[in-house]
Structure 1
Amino acid sequence: MTFKTKLVLITILPLIAVSVLIGAATYFQARHLIEVETRAVEDRILATKKQEIQNYISLALTSISRIYENEPNGREAAQEQVKEILHNMTFGEDGYFFVYTREGVNLVHPKLGHLVGEKWWDLQDPEGDFVIQSLIEAAEAGGDFHEYVWHKPSTGLVENKLGFAIMLEKWGWMLGTGLYTDDIDREVEIIRADFAASIRQTVFVIFIIALAAIVVTGTLIAGVRFSEQRFADSKLKELTNRIFEIQEQERKRVSTELHDSISQLLVSVRYGIELIHSEAGKVPDLQTQATKCLGILDRAISEVRRISRDLRPSVLDDMGLATALVSLGNEFETHSGIKVTVSAERGNDRLPENAKTALYRVVQECMTNVARHSNATEVDINLSYNSSTLSLTIKDDGVGIQSPLPKAGGLGIRNMRERIETLGGTLRIMKRTKGGTRINVTIPLSTRGLKAA
């Protein structure tokens, strides 16, 4: 993992983690708030219903109290009269009163007439609750509420119901009524749905904000990285160019020293040995040794001149790039036996010294690679100009370069690329379809001060 990738992860991951934590905390806190609020709403509605049920019971007791207390025309007649009153007392669509004896026999039920007169002591609702027993127990306790499941007359469905029962002690009757609570469930579900929608909206807003923050952060990081990369690349190119300049200056200095100093010293020594050779005619052994020394000196002088020329060819400074390339091709053909064809257009001083040197070194490196690796028999070098671009092409008919070419290439290829890139140009290496390797160098003359004023 690269340092830049680590930097991005260090910057982005904490932001993502914080966003996730905030979203999760908001979600769970909101869920808890939903539970608290819905319970509070449910309790308020339930308390209201309880009060309403107690009011209905009070109304029923008020309606029958005189008859229940005085029992006009006897108890049996009074009980029938009370049954009639309670049977006719309904409220709302599903509100009614019911009466059971302590033994669980139904006496009054306006909505479910088939229950009247039957004993329902062991009646259970769908959830297993003994409804009548529980209501009688609540009545015996002095009057209390009991929740159970019962048929709702208006829908015919089984719904939750909150009942309240009291005991008419004198007659042994359990008087009760109740309200269905399915409307509470619906209201609570509506509240839950509203809260859930709010939670989703809040989490979505957090997600959008986090995403926007990540995008902005990523953009800023990318911008900073791009700016730093461009700055680093420019400084690296300046440094590389400076290194090449220093390298060429040092090569030129060494080449000059070899040519003007070492070479001259060797030539002076040769003159002396020639004199010894000419004077040693009467001593055959000395003359033979002098002849050997002259041969060694000639080779040494030739080698010093070759090294001097390789370090910094004087023809490049004296005659220009085109002539230097022709000279390089001729010399390479002489030493390697590989035919070299050079077509070099003169630039008429359109190139500065650093560009000439860079191009010469690229051709020199290419020729070295041809001699070492290509098994070629022919090399073509073409240098041309147009109004804004310099083009250099080196082609050979050898075995071709390795495919695919490594991204960085060898040291020689890397040096060639760096030399050309410092001039704002490009270097492309490709395998020819007919065999061999082709290297294309393109340099814009309008940048890096390449175009003459």
Structure 2
Amino acid sequence: MTFKTKLLLITILPLIAVSILVGGTTYYQSRELVNAQTQAVEQRILSSKRQEIRNYVSLALTSIEQIYEEEPGGRIAAQERVKDIFKNLTFDYDGYFFVYRLDGTNIVHPKLPHLVGGNWWDLQDENGDYVIRNLLEEAKTGGGFHQYVWNKPSTGTVEEKLGYAIMLDKWGWMLGTGLYTDDIAREVAGIRLEMANSIRQTLLVIFLITLAATVIVGTLIAGVRFSEQRFADSKLKELTNRIFQVQEQERKRVSTELHDSISQLLVSVRYGIEMIHSEAVREPDLQSQASKCLKTLDATIAEVRRISRDLRPSVLDDMGLAAALVSLGKEFQNQSGITVNVSAEQCHNRLSEGAKTALYRVVQECVTNVARHACASEVNIDLTVGSHILTLSVEDNGVGLPNPLPRGGGLGFRNMRERMETYGGKLIIGWRASGGTRIMVEMPLDKLAAKAA
């Protein structure tokens, strides 16, 4: 796992964990709040309905009070008049009054007349509740409420109902009424749905905030990492350029030492041996040995000069890049037997000394690779100087490069690329259509020097 990935995980995972924790806590607390809120609403509505039922019962008692107390025309006549009043006394569509005797016999029921005259002491609702028994029990205690399920006239469905019953003690009647509470269930369901939507919106906001924060953090980390990488790359290029400069300086110093010191010493020694060779006419053995020494010295001097030239060709400093490439081509042809065709234009002062040296080293590396790997019979070196861009190409008719190329192209190609990138150039590795390898280099020229030229 890369450092960037670790940093990203270390930063984002706690953020996601906190967001999940906040979301879970919010969801749990919201559910608790919904339950508490709906219970409070339900109790408030039930309380309101209880008071409303008491008011209805109070009005009903007021409407029969005189008849009940005075019993004009006798008890039976008074009871009949009260029955008629209760039959016609309704509120809303589903509000009505019912009357039962203590044994469970129905006396009045405006909405369900088939119940009148029947004994419903053992009547149970869908939940197994003994409706009439329990209402009578509440009435005997001085009046009370009882919840059960009952047929709702307006819909024909069985719904929850809150009933209230009191006793008319003088006649042994139970007077009852009630309100259906299905509207409470609908209201509570609406509140739950509304709050559930609010919870979902809250969780969605938390998710969006987390997503945005994750994207921002990831972008910042990527930006920091990218900036660090660019900074590291620039420092690495500076270091690489400095290493190349130090190498060239050291090569130039060693080349100068070989040319000006060791080579001159070897030449002086050769002069001495030549004198010995000239004076040893009468000593054939000595003269033969001197001849061998001269040959060895000549070979040594030539090797020292070659090493000096490879380390730092003086023609590059004295006559420029074009002449140095021509000299390199001739020398390579003499050493390898491979035909070298050089076409080089003068770039004068439109390139820095470091850039010229880098281009020379690239060509030197290319021809070395041709000798080692290409099995070629011909190499073409072309240097073209345009108005803004210098183009260098090195082609051979050898076996070509492997296809696909190894990742990075090998150490030699990587070094060549780094040399070119140091001076703003680029190196392209490819294949010739007729077979062989093509190395292309493009490097920008100095605009100020171009104007002066």
Cα distance change of structure 1 residues 221 and 400 upon mapping to structure 2, 3 Å threshold? same
| Higher mean C-alpha displacement, 404-413 vs 194-203 | 194-203
Alignment pair present for 1:402 and 2:412: no
Query: Residue type matched to 1:148 in 2?
Result: Y
Please report how far the alpha carbon of residue 74 of structure 1 lies from its aligned counterpart in structure 2 after TM superposition.
4.5
CA displacement, residues 345-384 of structure 1 (integer Å, 9 cap, x when unaligned): 1112211100000111111111122222222222221111
* Equivalence for 1:118: 118
Give 1:142 deviation, angstroms: 3.6
The corresponding residue for 1:131 is 131
The 2-side partners of 1:385 and 1:69 are apart by 129
1:47 counterpart = 2:47: yes
Are 1:365 and 2:349 an aligned pair? no
Alignment of 1:263-412 (within 5 A): 263-412=263-412
Q: Matched residues in 2 for 1:56 and 1:378: separation?
A: 118
Partners of 1:450 and 1:101 lie apart in 2 by: 123
> What is aligned with 2:158?
158
The amino acid that maps onto 2:179 is L
Letter in 1 for 2:85: I
Please identify, of 397-406 and 275-284, the stretch whose mean Cα deviation from structure 2 is larger: 275-284
Distance 1:156 1:309, change over 3 A: same
Equivalent residue number for residue 149 of structure 2: 149
Q: TM-score, normalised by structure 2?
A: 0.91
| 2: CA distance, partners of 1:394 / 1:450 | 26
Relative to structure 1, is the Cα distance of residues 136 and 445 closer, same or farther in structure 2, using a 3 angstrom cutoff?
Answer: farther
Distance 2:281 2:128 in 1: 142
Counterpart of 1:92 in structure 2 is 92
Aligned to 2:62: 62
How far did 1:12 drift?
3.6
- CA distance 1:185–1:257, change in 2 (3 Å): same
CA distance in 2, matches of 1:333, 1:358: 21
How far off its partner does 1:419 sit?
Answer: 0.7
CA contact (8 A) 2:151 2:158 kept: yes
Q: Which moved more, 1:6-15 or 1:370-379?
A: 6-15
Gaps of 5+ in 1: none
Cα deviations by residue, 1:269-307 (Å, 9 ceiling, x for unpaired): 222233333333444443333333333222222222121
CA distance in 1, matches of 2:271, 2:65: 156
In the other structure, the counterpart of 1:196 is: 196
> Aligned pair in 2 of structure 1 residues 446, 68: CA closer, same or farther (>3 Å)?
farther
* Partner AA of 2:367 in structure 1: M
1:9-41 deviation per Cα after TM superposition (whole angstroms, max 9, x unaligned):
333443344344333333333332222222211
Amino acid at match of 2:159: E
Q: Do the aligned partners of 2:349 and 2:449 also contact (CA within 8 Å) in 1?
A: no
Aligned counterparts of 1:161 and 1:215: Cα–Cα separation in 2: 55
- Rounded to whole Å, the distance in 2 between the matches of 1:79 and 1:220 is 89
Deviation string 1:169-204 (CA, Å, 9 cap, x unpaired) is 444433221111122122223323332333333334
- The alpha carbon displacement at 1:128 in A equals 3.6
Residue 35 of structure 2 corresponds to 35
CA distance in 2, matches of 1:285, 1:102: 161
What residue is the counterpart of 1:257 in the other structure? 257
Instruction: Provide the C-alpha distance between the structure 2 equivalents of 1:194 and 1:239, rounded to a whole number of angstroms.
Output: 66
Q: Cα distance 1:101–1:398, how it changes in 2: closer, same or farther (>3 A)?
A: farther
- Uncovered stretches (5+) of structure 2, i.e. residues with no partner: none
Contact 1:349 / 1:452 at 8 angstroms: preserved in 2? no
Kindly state the Cα deviation for residue 215 of structure 1 after the two structures are TM-superposed: 4.1
Task: Check conservation: 2:382, 2:394, Cα contact below 8 A.
Answer: yes
**Does the 8 Å CA contact 1:401/1:437 hold for their aligned counterparts?**
yes
**Structure 1 residue 317 displacement after superposition:** 0.8
TM-score, with structure 1 as normaliser: 0.91
Summarize the Cα distance change of 1:423–1:289 in structure 2 as closer, same or farther, 3 Å threshold.
Answer: same
CA gap of 1:338–1:106, structure 2 versus 1, over 3 A, is farther
Between 1:127-136 and 1:369-378, the stretch displaced more is 127-136
Give the match's secondary structure for 1:410. Answer: helix
1:381-427 CA distance string (max 9 Å, x none): 11112111111112222222223223433221111111111111111
Amino acid at match of 1:276: I
1:74–1:410 Cα change, 3 Å:
same
For the 8 Å contact 1:352–1:450, the answer to whether it is kept is: no
Instruction: Determine if contact 1:355/1:450 at 8 Å carries over to the other structure.
Output: no
- The range that moved more, 76-85 or 320-329, is 76-85
Deviation of 1:124 after TM superposition, in Å, equals 3.2
The separation in 2 between residues aligned to 1:69 and 1:59, in whole angstroms, is 16
Do the aligned partners of 2:351 and 2:446 also contact (CA within 8 Å) in 1? no
| 8 A Cα contact 1:350 1:452, kept in partner | no
In the comparison of the two structures, how many residue pairs are matched? 452
Tell me by how many angstroms 1:88 deviates: 1.5
- Secondary structure class of the residue paired with 2:409: coil
Which amino acid in the other structure matches residue 10 of structure 2?
A: I
CA distance in 2, matches of 1:339, 1:100: 129
1:167-178 equivalences in 2 (<5 Å): 167-178=167-178
> CA offset at residue 336 of structure 1?
1.9
Deviation, structure 1 residue 324: 0.9
Q: Secondary structure at the match of 2:427?
A: strand
Instruction: Return closer, same or farther for 1:169/1:337 CA change in 2, 3 Å cut-off.
Output: farther
> 1:393 and 1:77, CA in 2 relative to 1: closer, same or farther beyond 3 A?
same
Between 300-309 and 227-236, report the one with greater CA deviation.
Answer: 227-236
Q: Please report how far the alpha carbon of residue 329 of structure 1 lies from its aligned counterpart in structure 2 after TM superposition.
A: 1.5
* Equivalent-residue separation in structure 2 for 1:158 and 1:358 (angstroms): 98
Quote the Cα distance in structure 1 between the aligned partners of 2:21 and 2:339.
73
| Change in 2 beyond 3 A, CA 1:8/1:446 | farther
Distance (Å, rounded) in 2 between the aligned partners of 1:363 and 1:122? 114
Distance 1:395 1:123, change over 3 A: farther
